[in-house]
């Protein structure tokens, strides 16, 4: 099983999921990280604000910061090799890197009926199916 390390920009707390204006990417990533851990994956995250020593102790991280600066974070290492920069990986990527089975795709919750209103509304709009319409 691979070791995944995520080096994040300075966040207000260890997860960045705090305060009044929470970034949805951090909420999603925190949930995905917890899922990987629950499946036995080896993943660690490091926050530049609270764990700066971790950034200085890893040569690929210090080299990355010298070139891209903290604006290039997050940086994801898989077994010490740069796997991704500039954005958080999704659950499928994390599972692949951790050597876990691919997560099941998110389906509509049971008991929910999709009404298809978006399709009907588009057909009745001023544009309709006529590509030459100029009203939109």
- CB atoms under 10 Å from CB of 26, counted, come to 17
Q: What's the fold here for domain 3-100?
A: Glutaredoxin (3.40.30)
Task: Give the pLDDT of residue 107.
Answer: 43
pLDDT band at 72 (very low <50, low <70, confident <90, very high): very high
Helix/strand/coil for 109: coil
- The pLDDT score that the predictor gives to residue 25 is 85
- pLDDT band for 14, please (50, 70, 90 cuts): low
Question: Hey, where are the domains in the chain?
Answer: 3-100
> What does residue 35 show for φ and ψ, rounded to 5 degrees?
-65, -45
Whether 12 has a pLDDT exceeding 60, the answer reads yes
pLDDT-derived band at 21, boundaries 50, 70, 90 = low
Q: Under a CB-based contact definition with an 8 Å cutoff, are residues 88 and 23 in contact?
A: no
pTM summary value? 0.71
The token duo for 57 is: 């102790």
């Amino acid at each position: 099983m691979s070791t995944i390390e995520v080096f994040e920009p300075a966040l207000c707390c260890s997860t960045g999921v705090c305060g009044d204006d929470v970034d949805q990417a951090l909420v999603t990533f925190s949930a995905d990280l917890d899922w990987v851990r629950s499946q036995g994956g080896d993943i660690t995250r490091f926050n530049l604000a609270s764990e700066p020593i971790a950034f200085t102790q890893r040569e690929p991280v210090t080299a990355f910061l010298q070139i891209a600066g903290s604006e290039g974070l997050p940086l994801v290492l898989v077994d010490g090799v740069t796997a991704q920069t500039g954005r958080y990986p999704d659950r499928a990527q994390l599972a692949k890197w951790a050597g876990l089975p691919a997560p099941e795709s998110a389906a509509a919750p049971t008991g929910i009926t999709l009404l298809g209103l978006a399709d009907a509304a588009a057909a009745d709009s001023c544009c309709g199916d006529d590509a030459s319409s100029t009203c939109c």
